[in-house]
Structure 1
């Protein structure tokens, strides 16, 4: 399974770079703005090969992603209630998170419902060939709130659930 997990991680690394480029372009920034913060090749960093702010001769920078495989066992259906939350509402600290889930359980709080009572949570779709992208606190901060961190939670269900989660962070020097 290690080879499969390594391959998955590498593919998610490529996808993460594509998304960072898309975020930058959507904000009318140079397309490599966030990728440079991701892999430590920012022209403002003190890289030894940075004489002309060209990193073509530099080995590709490291990524700052963490992958987690999580299993949520199903609970007795008599114990599962609408308000029974497995992981309480939160936002992720990192730039963004890629998530794949095998069954329902992940819920989002849409932006226009943050101040409603009761909160209006929506279920994240479960699609075998797709990842859910969750904007994190770091991306909200660096875009001055233009892109907002996504509040989310995981509710208890009567069915078991697997999730593959990749947290993407900027380089510590950013």
Structure 2
């Protein structure tokens, strides 16, 4: 299959909205958009190009009835995926204003788990133009994926997504 798989979680909200925006940029006919919720490692088998979408802050943090987010369930299954000949790009949502000390940390968490499995990760983004104090997603001045702040800078998301997907297209996405 020559399609790119866009796997995202949580299932609703801004992460899903951005998954659709990315699919629009890459081409709906060349992408499949799949919620990570209830996925298992076989879901990746037909894709050589994968995009993972994750949120740093969400219901998990303020809804005591919500036990975990969709990625928490899947993190333990990453080691069961055959990562040979696959490339992964990550996008993440965060809030620079209310949580400047943890901006898009989830990109970093996912990146570290994938790097430990020797996954080929592409799509790093320079940190210029973002206003934050700290981020676990940052390595040597670059975010290890596309950071977006739909709460405070949603107007910047379309151009950031366009630039990022142009970069990904050069990597074969």
TM-score range (shorter-chain normalised) is under 0.3
TM-score computed with the length of structure 2 as normaliser = 0.27
Indicate the structure (1 or 2) with the bigger Cα radius of gyration: 1
Q: Which of structures 1 and 2 has the larger relative contact order (alpha carbons within 8 angstroms, sep 6+)?
A: 1
More helix by share: 2
